[in-house]
Amino acid sequence: MKKNKLFTFTGRAASLILTLALLTSAVPVSFVHAAALTTLSDTMSSLKISTVSNHDILFTTPTGITTGQTITVTFPGSSSIAAALDFTDVDVLINGVQQTLAASNGASTWGVVRTSATVLTITAQSGGTPAAAGNTVRIKIGTNATNQSTGVRQVTNDTTIGQKSIAIGGSMADSGSLSINLITDDTVAVSATVAQAITFSISANTIAFGTLDSAAARFANSSTGSASDVVAHTLAVSTNAPSGYTVTIKGDTLRSAQNTNNIITPIGATPATSSVGTKQFGIYATKTGGVNATIATPYVTASSFGLDCSSTTATTFSSGTSPTATETYSLHYLANITATTEAGTYATALTYVATANF
Amino acid sequence: MRTATSTSIVRKIASSVAMFLVFGVANVQALTISPARLEMYGDPGKTISGEFLLINEQENNQTFYTSAENFEAQGETSTPNFVSGTDGLASWIEVRKEVTLHKGEQVKVPFTVTIPKDADAGGHFAAIFLSTVPPASKGAGEVAVGAKVGMLVLLKVSGEVKEGGGIVDFTTKTKKSFFTSLPITFAYRFSNNGNDRVNPTGDAVITNMLGLEKVKLPANQGLGNVLPKSTRRFEIVWGNDAPQYPSFFDTVQYQASHFALGYYHVSLNLSYGVSSKASESLSVFVFPWQLMIVTLLGALAIYFIVSRLLKRYNRWIISQATHQAKE
């Protein structure tokens, strides 16, 4: 009886082994081999501790990623993924092709979820082939993510300096880690000083009217005077002073060397056109180049002359309120006399002063 | 290294004048001085030193003569008003009387400021001038014209410096509050009742009807100073590049590219001195009626065209249906 039972048990065991052997040979079984991710890298916008940074993580998956598998990106220690960071702050590219992202995965959509302050979980699409073996996977996190929308939330770096590790894992077959080196400050202070300067030039130191005439206006030039309105000389100013510049004019009117009481009347602050047969001494100017200087009222009207200064009082000739390239002023001088103007040698000295504004 | 860089920059700034020398009228004086404005600090009874750079931009050698004059504020502008006198900062400055430069040569000219022991604390202001001496007039009807270029020296003497002042008023330049277009120029007057210059800094923040910030404009872009016992007027421009003599459509184009519509609140916030602050605000209303008219006409035209097309389509549909019914 005992012998029969032993025989029966041996027979059943042999049958079971045989059945299993047949099943094993009939049903195909595949084996998954986990591998290490290759060519891992992370380009960060800042390596400074406790500072928000973008991440641009790149790796190659030797095995590939199948539907629904997850990729986890685990940041080190006290790093902090922005609490509201979501799929709009992330781009995922497989072999350079942007993937459609959402809060959870779908048939052709990858899901992105901030699992914790240090873990970001990306779930592969549930249809098709998410990533074949040997594909590159690129994950952009932060403001560098621009595919569906431009990211606004980033990851704050760990609070301590030194080498840190970012782990890439999840339910996908492959895994790996990469190292980053955080430092106290990743910026270099660069400074330079631009010195303020002002340049002033004048084209002539002596101009002349020649012999004045009560029957015709005379205009000064650098020779012996002119019967027509001409440019007597030029002034040129340029400066990089932020507050701009001012040119003032100071000097007497034409005065007789023989009798200093005899003068050619200065026209004054209100511009006036030439009036032959009356005493007049005045100036007007035109400007070319530069940006914004304004010629003062007595001198700004073409063909109308003014002179509003004295040997003791300087008045503004022109001024500007910002830096400027060269502004060139062309100055015209007029002198008229009456028939009874005392004979003599009439002359004067005018000084133009250019300074920056305070 | 820093000096070399500065010199290079100064030369670039002066290059346009040099070009004028080459291609235009030959100048009898062309001089660059740097810095154009120098801020110095010192104690009573001490001598402090400084220097400035001169560049002779002429094609010939030239001797320049130095002089110094005090200056004060002229009205409410940033223009210095030079005043003659035998005291004050101008009389404390010692600099060589003349400097001869070869063509294109540049030299650094040192100078000292000897501050009297009884000098008042606070700001003192002067300019160091360089000029060729104008030749004396000889002939009949001659005018001798001279040119001087100056460097402003803003000296602060240590001691009990009083700080006072603030915004006197803040308005639009035209005193209006209704505008049809940018640019709008705001103006504020800042008074300085202290005994040293102040340099107000800050912004004019413009917010729209929803309280959202439209633009933030620097309140003192020229980094200008307000001298003691004076008031200075500053301008802030919202919008730029407005056409000078605009046609109707120029205006429309400008209003579209510099769009502003509705009520705007302008808040001026300034800091000055060690820790003083001042603020003012105003409101303006902008209604770009030219742009509104063009937009309205455009909308009416689209409405008219679309409604005509819809009517035509409806007629076509009805005729098609009628035709099919008859068949």
Q: Do B137 and A335 touch (CB under 8 A)?
A: no
Which residue in this structure is represented by tokens 């507050």? A243
Q: Are residues A342 and A266 in the same domain?
A: yes
Tokens read off for B319 = 């005729």
Identify the domain boundary among A156, A182, A208: A182
Q: Are residues A243 and A301 in the same domain?
A: yes
CB atoms within 10 A of CB B281: 13
Residue A171 forms part of a structural domain? yes
Residue A8 forms part of a structural domain? no
- In this predicted model, what pLDDT tens digit does every residue of B223-237 receive, in sequence order? 899 999 999 999 999
Per-residue confidence band for B324, with pLDDT thresholds at 50, 70 and 90: confident
Per-residue confidence band for B134, with pLDDT thresholds at 50, 70 and 90: low
Q: Are residues A151 and A78 in the same domain?
A: yes
Q: Are residues A226 and A342 in the same domain?
A: yes
Least confident span in A8-12, A203-207, B65-69, B321-325: A8-12
Residues in chain A: 358
Give the span between the Cα atoms of A198 and A200, in whole angstroms: 7
Residue A5 forms part of a structural domain? no
Does the pLDDT value for residue B7 go beyond 70?
A: no
Residue A191 forms part of a structural domain? no
Task: Say whether residue B134 is in contact with chain A using an 8 A CB cutoff.
Answer: yes
CA quadruple B237, B169, A297, A326: dihedral sign: negative
Q: Are residues A97 and A213 in the same domain?
A: no
Mean pLDDT of chain B: 87
Identify the domain boundary among A123, A149, A182: A182
- Nearest chain A Cα to B11, which residue? A197
Q: Are residues A324 and A212 in the same domain?
A: yes
pLDDT at A292: 77
Q: Are residues A347 and A214 in the same domain?
A: yes
Q: Do B34 and A353 touch (CB under 8 A)?
A: no
Looking at this predicted complex, what is its ipTM? 0.77
Select the residue from A191, A201, A218, A231 to test the B interface by mutation, using most B Cβ atoms within 10 A.
A201
DSSP per-residue string spanning B88-132: SHHHHEEE-SEEEE-TT-EEEEEEEEE--TTPPSEEEEEEEEEEP
Task: Say whether residue A290 is in contact with chain B using an 8 A CB cutoff.
Answer: no
Q: Are residues A113 and A89 in the same domain?
A: yes
Residue A212 forms part of a structural domain? yes
Q: Do B6 and A193 touch (CB under 8 A)?
A: yes
Q: Are residues A317 and A350 in the same domain?
A: yes
Per-residue confidence band for B45, with pLDDT thresholds at 50, 70 and 90: very high
Task: Say whether residue A31 is in contact with chain B using an 8 A CB cutoff.
Answer: no
∠ CA A118-A119-A121 to the nearest 5 degrees?
160
Q: Tell me if B113 sits within 8 A of B47, measured CB to CB.
A: yes
pLDDT at A249: 95
Helix (H, G, I), strand (E, B), or coil: what is residue B178?
strand
Q: Are residues A148 and A229 in the same domain?
A: no
pLDDT at A9: 58
What residue numbers bound the domain in which A272 lies?
198-356
Helix (H, G, I), strand (E, B), or coil: what is residue B300?
helix
Total number of domains in chain A: 2
Residue A2 forms part of a structural domain? no
Q: Do B134 and A205 touch (CB under 8 A)?
A: yes
Q: Which element (helix H / strand E) includes B54? A: strand B47-56
Q: Do A351 and B134 touch (CB under 8 A)?
A: yes
List per-residue pLDDT tens for chain A, 358 residues long. Answer: 445 555 555 556 555 554 544 444 444 444 445 688 988 899 999 998 999 999 999 999 999 999 999 999 999 988 999 999 999 999 999 999 999 999 999 999 999 999 999 999 999 999 999 999 999 999 999 999 999 989 999 999 999 988 888 999 999 999 998 888 888 887 787 877 778 999 999 998 899 999 999 999 999 998 889 999 999 999 999 999 988 999 999 999 999 989 999 999 999 999 999 999 999 999 999 999 988 789 999 999 999 999 999 988 889 999 998 899 999 999 999 999 999 999 999 999 999 999 999 9
Q: Are residues A218 and A121 in the same domain?
A: no
Q: Do B149 and A200 touch (CB under 8 A)?
A: yes
pLDDT at A4: 56
Calculate how close chain A gets to B208, using CA atoms only, in Å.
24
Calculate how close chain A gets to B220, using CA atoms only, in Å.
9
Identify the domain boundary among A147, A182, A217: A182
Select the residue from A194, A202, A337 to test the B interface by mutation, using most B Cβ atoms within 10 A.
A202
- In this predicted model, what pLDDT tens digit does every residue of B260-315 receive, in sequence order? 999 999 999 999 988 889 999 999 999 999 999 999 999 999 999 999 999 999 99
Tokens read off for B27 = 């100048």
CATH label of the domain that carries residue A168: 2.60.40.740
Residue A215 forms part of a structural domain? yes
Residue A285 forms part of a structural domain? yes
Q: Are residues A218 and A349 in the same domain?
A: yes
